[in-house]
Structure 1
Amino acid sequence: MVHHPIDQDTGSVHTLATRKAMQRLLPLMFAIYFLSFIDRTNVALAKTRLAADLGISAAAYGLGAGIFFIGYALLEVPSNLAAHKYGPRTWIARIAVTWGILSTLMMFVQGESSFYVLRVLLGIAEAGLFPALMYMVTLWFAPHDRPVAVGWIYTAPAIALILGNPLGASLMQLDGAGGLHGWQWMFLLEGIPTIVFGVVLFFILPDRPSLAKWLSRDEAQALEAHAVIDVHGRRELTTANWIAALKRPSTVLIALIYFLNQVGFVGLYFFTPSIVHQMNVKSPLLVGFLSSSVGIGFLIGVLILPRLHRKLDNDCAYLGALTAGMLISAIAFIAIHDQSIQIVLLGITGFFAGGILPSYWAIAMKRLQGIQAAAGLAFINTVGLLGGFVGPYLFGLAETMTGRSDSGFNVVVVASLLSLVLVPFLAKAIRYEDRTPAQSELGLT
């Protein structure tokens, strides 16, 4: 009887601290991810002008759009290990400043070769950002709060897809001002804010609860206890066995499912402006606004679906249902030729393809901590980023072969179907690891 009120008090402190952390941290994490998404996807709006001004073909554009993810992927794990070593604050700020500089340099693209080089360098500069944000989530939030925290972070790319296309299209109206093309103004004016915010972030982002001046000592201790100790109940893992996280069947399977999601989803949002343009929409501003349908669906998905996931116990059944939704919406887009309905289906596909993303990370975080979380989450993101390369490339090939951008929806169908096939294997791996926790911790499953 003596411990119950104390537990209640501890719980209320943790609830208050979690609310404070979400209010203070999530806007910063949102802002930096928003800027990164604007800077990585604004090239989609420049596609037609790059072809007209520099002769960059659809296939070359698809390769350049996707090749960004190669440099990004190769450095994900070492970059996030650096975030673990030096602290997320320093590393995230470094990433923001360097990629902001390279994003502005995109204005100097002269042809296909320079386009490829700058896209690769941009990917290298941004490597580690998202897994560093996910690593911070493991340091600050208890597992049952993580789907919601990650969902709020994912509103950043969703809103970037909604606002980024109209914003970029508006900046491209500066065509001819100062002797620059519109796409050059877009790269310049969307890159500079990232540099500035990266510097600001270095001074205001705390690495962990114990370093946050706006938390009391009890609040910081409650956050750290619920994020790590209460959940895992075991020692912090060391550098010597971080590779164990990469050997877990559940980690590998989540990475593969995430890869297939990114093949379909990244290909889709890089080619949505082209798909809309082929619907006989001529105004660049109208193309930008209609292309936002994917972002609107994405935003609704990440606001609703993580909260639904929070209430359900069967992670894999939930993943299967959302993956099936993505598959059905893609098939419907191909089967239905009414353009107004297709615009709606773009949004519905974004709802499932984007709304499912926080669930991947929440499931992975349940099984990873400390340096294993840094390495394992970076590995999952690395594999997903390879999907980000493959998707636009396949969409570009499909357009080259058929002459139509919307033929890429066949890629979405195949990727969703393969994801659905892998979900039962993930369920089996999780059940096995939960039965043998000691072996799972050492990566021996």
Structure 2
Amino acid sequence: MPASTAPPVTKTRPAVEASAIRKISIRLVPFVALMFFVNYLDRTAVSFAEPNGMGQDLSLTAAQFGFASGIFFLGYIVLEVPSNMALHRFGARRWLARIMVSWGIVSLLFTWVDSSGQLYTLRFLLGVAEAGFFPGAILFLSQWVPSRHRTKILGLFYLAQPLTTVFGAPLAGWLIGHHGLFGLEGWRVMFLFVSIPAILLGVIAWFYLIDRPADAKWLTTDERDWLTEELAAENADKTGHQGQHAKGDLKAAFTNGRVWILAVVYFGFVYGLYALAFFLPTIINGFQEQYDTTFSVMDKAWI
């Protein structure tokens, strides 16, 4: 008798779900988190530069440094919502790549800043260039996983922010320690080398990221079909028509009480976060006089 041939093994729906989420966690989340790591480091690099030569070289007062730190968010506020609307129009891959390259170029220009006026201008332009990255990255990842998996996926992504302090501060300190490289002060060397990764990652993102699960060749057909169906069902449930956003979404968002309550909560959170992010290196620098001791640049970074 001829040997019987067994039918191909078909994965169960839970197995397809687990496999798809695992691949997304490995393939997309670390890369987007790395983008966020570089984003946050570039945004707060000025805090490491000020007490390590920039403040003295540019003759900055504490008020001027505070203004330079804060004016970043003025440009950020102006273009935050338009930037995310552009992300919808042009696709996350193109728009996130554009954001990274443009902010990397602006950040690179800090290497040659020589006055407080130039510092204010570049900080404002950095906010304009970076506007939309963080919410855009959140939106991008949300469009890849059903709602029940987003807490885990976004939690893994958000780890990049504390890791920027854990690893970014010593990295900034190490770079500042290379005073004289290319004839530059240490703080200028730091700006030079923390900016280049943003430009490179932006170029890589253009080719590496994919806008929709349906186009991901690294997913199996079953995984693509499952993700597409799940996300389409959620979209239809939220908007009332498959894959389309309801008209008036922008107005509805700005008149939604829940949005404003969460905005106030988030304001309270980031107010303290950025007060520390921008001024902690300066505070640590002041410990030297207070406790009659001396810290190296790397000591300050590790503290």
Residue 139 of structure 1 deviates from its aligned partner by 0.9
- The equivalent of 2:134 in structure 1 is 130
Q: Which blocks of at least 5 consecutive residues in structure 1 are unaligned?
A: 1-7, 291-445
Equivalence map 1:66-105=2 (5 Å): 66-105=70-109
Residue 275 of structure 1 deviates from its aligned partner by 2.2
Q: Which one of 42, 45, 70 corresponds to residue 45 of structure 2?
A: 42
CA deviation vs aligned residue, 1:123-161 (integer Å, no higher than 9, x gap): 111111111111112211122211211111111121111
Structure 1: distance between partners of 2:235 and 2:179: 55
- The equivalent of 2:36 in structure 1 is 33
After superposition, the Cα gap between the structure-2 partners of 1:11 and 1:66, relative to the gap in structure 1 and judged at 3 Å, is same
Name whichever of 243-252 and 51-60 sits farther off. Answer: 243-252
- The equivalent of 1:23 in structure 2 is 26
Q: Which one of 6, 9, 13 corresponds to residue 10 of structure 1?
A: 13
Residue 220 of structure 1 deviates from its aligned partner by 1.6
Is the contact between residue 18 and residue 223 of structure 1 (CA under 8 Å) also seen in structure 2? no
Residue 231 of structure 1 deviates from its aligned partner by 7.3
Structure 2: distance between partners of 1:100 and 1:127: 13
Structure 1: distance between partners of 2:173 and 2:193: 12
Q: How much is the aligned-residue C-alpha RMSD, in angstroms?
A: 1.7
Residue 184 of structure 1 deviates from its aligned partner by 0.8
SS at match of 1:279: helix
Percent identical: 36
Q: Which one of 107, 113, 137 corresponds to residue 111 of structure 2?
A: 107
- The equivalent of 2:273 in structure 1 is 265
SS at match of 1:174: coil
Structure 1: distance between partners of 2:194 and 2:59: 23
Residue 228 of structure 1 deviates from its aligned partner by 4.6
- The equivalent of 2:181 in structure 1 is 177
- The equivalent of 1:199 in structure 2 is 203
Residue 16 of structure 1 deviates from its aligned partner by 1.2
Is the contact between residue 14 and residue 219 of structure 1 (CA under 8 Å) also seen in structure 2? yes
CA deviation vs aligned residue, 1:9-32 (integer Å, no higher than 9, x gap): 323212211111111000110111
Report the residue type matching 2:166 in the other structure.
I
SS at match of 1:42: helix
Residue 230 of structure 1 deviates from its aligned partner by 4.3
- The equivalent of 1:284 in structure 2 is 297
Aligned pair count reads 283
Report the residue type matching 2:159 in the other structure.
T
Structure 2: distance between partners of 1:112 and 1:239: 46
SS at match of 1:133: helix
Report the residue type matching 2:135 in the other structure.
P
SS at match of 1:219: helix
- The structure with the largest helix share of the pair is 1
CA deviation vs aligned residue, 1:290-324 (integer Å, no higher than 9, x gap): 1xxxxxxxxxxxxxxxxxxxxxxxxxxxxxxxxxx
- The equivalent of 1:348 in structure 2 is none
Residue 163 of structure 1 deviates from its aligned partner by 1.2
For normalisation by structure 1, the TM-score amounts to 0.61
Equivalence map 1:220-299=2 (5 Å): 220-230=224-234, 233=237, 234-235=240-241, 236-238=243-245, 240-243=247-250, 244-280=252-288, 282-290=295-303
Residue 283 of structure 1 deviates from its aligned partner by 1.7
- The equivalent of 1:216 in structure 2 is 220
Is the contact between residue 16 and residue 222 of structure 2 (CA under 8 Å) also seen in structure 1? yes
Residue 266 of structure 1 deviates from its aligned partner by 1.0
Is the contact between residue 112 and residue 188 of structure 2 (CA under 8 Å) also seen in structure 1? yes
SS at match of 1:29: helix
SS at match of 1:151: helix
Structure 1: distance between partners of 2:70 and 2:228: 38
CA radius of gyration, larger in = 2
Residue 170 of structure 1 deviates from its aligned partner by 1.0
SS at match of 1:266: helix
Is the contact between residue 107 and residue 195 of structure 2 (CA under 8 Å) also seen in structure 1? yes
